[in-house]
Amino acid sequence: MDKKRMVEKVAQCLVEASTRFRPDQIKKYEEAISKEDNPEARWVLEKILEDAQIAEAKGIPLCDDTGIPHVFIEFGEGIKINSKLDTAIREGISSGLQGLPGRPMAVKGEPLERLEQSKGLYKESEALLPATFLYRPFLGKGLNITVLMLGGGPEIRSKTFRVFHKHDSKNVITQAGQWAKEVSGQLGCTPCVPAIGIGRTHYEATVLMLEAMKEGSLDQQSEFEKLVTEIVNESKVGPLGLGGKITALGSFIKIGPQRASGVRIVCMRPGCCFDPRRASTIIE
């Protein structure tokens, strides 16, 4: 495996995630514009689509909060996972942030200084460290790397907590949808795309939520995903809080193993109008 080539491909992947809407996002926005009869809300949706066209044409960020990189590494048969591979992917992320360029928002200092942000920020975009990598095996060959860029607005309005299922799965999904509905008005960057993970522990629920963002498609929505979208749209918050039919474009849900218990651990991230900012690259 050529290290230089891998660094380039990961960097391109990060830039693509940050600058391009995928076809399912474009299609969903076009549908939303045709459905929305609130003129101000429709104007916002049109501007977001125009933004995506300019971002792709110029190769510049969709949003100035370029986000924290979250990286999934899926490895097939024969791929050796070692520090060389990990280092090459890290260099690719760094190179991508430099090239994008990402918002220079890495905080300087020792742990407590970082908490209070008393030592300022690094000037370099690439000083921003990615979140802990997630490695997964898959049946097949090669390496599949997915980069998700997670902005701050949805992060400060996310929630991981327990939900009583009362022996009906709909209770769990409905509660998660209510959480998304409650925060949609504070989000500002609506229409949103809530992502939900349901597992046995907080760690597992959060990883499942991220996997839902990694795998979900706005074109292929399950009945439960449609239910969450309907609950959020009942809020009538609308794009940018201006009212209207479209508060959520769609939802992503992933359910993992469950433990013998009356409660489930649910992670809900409301998402924003550019979510999920993601791209994948296959390395043979």
Partner 1 sequence: MIILQTPISEADIDRLKIRDKIEMKGTIYTGRDAVLPQLVKLLQEHPKEVKIDLQGGVIFHTAVSPAGIGPTSSNKLEIEGSIGPLSEKGIKVHLGKGALKKETIQALDKYNAIFAITPPVTALLTAKILSKEIAMFPEEGIEALYRLEVSAIPAIVAIAHGKSIFS
Q: Which residues bind partner 1 (CB under 8 A)?
A: 19, 39-40, 43-44, 47-48, 50-52, 54-55, 58, 60-66, 100-105, 120-121, 123, 125, 153, 186, 188-189, 239-242, 272-274
CA dist 284 to 78, 92, 141, Å? Answer: 11, 16, 7
Pick the closer one to partner 1 by CB: 175 or 184: 184
Pick the closer one to partner 1 by CB: 149 or 283: 149
CA distance 19 to 16: 5
Give the position of tokens 């504070």.
186
Pick the closer one to partner 1 by CB: 51 or 215: 51
Amino acid letter, residue 78: G
Both tokens of 226, joined, read: 């449609």
Q: Sign of torsion, CA 114 196 130 57? A: negative
Q: Minimum Å distance from CB 96 to partner 1?
A: 13
Task: Give the single-character DSSP code of 133.
Answer: P
CA distance 33 to 49: 10
Pick the closer one to partner 1 by CB: 21 or 252: 21
**How many helices (DSSP H) and strands (DSSP E) are in the chain?**
9, 8
Q: Minimum Å distance from CB 152 to partner 1?
A: 9
Q: Minimum Å distance from CB 17 to partner 1?
A: 14
CA distance 190 to 51: 15
Backbone angles phi, psi at 186, to 5 degrees: -85, -20
Q: Do 174 and 222 touch, CB atoms closer than 8 A?
A: no
CA 107 to chain centre: 22
Pick the closer one to partner 1 by CB: 57 or 260: 57
Pick the closer one to partner 1 by CB: 186 or 220: 186
Q: Minimum Å distance from CB 185 to partner 1?
A: 8
From the number of C-beta atoms within 10 Å of its C-beta (0-12, 13-18, 19+), residue 270 rates as buried
Q: Minimum Å distance from CB 121 to partner 1?
A: 6
Pick the closer one to partner 1 by CB: 109 or 241: 241
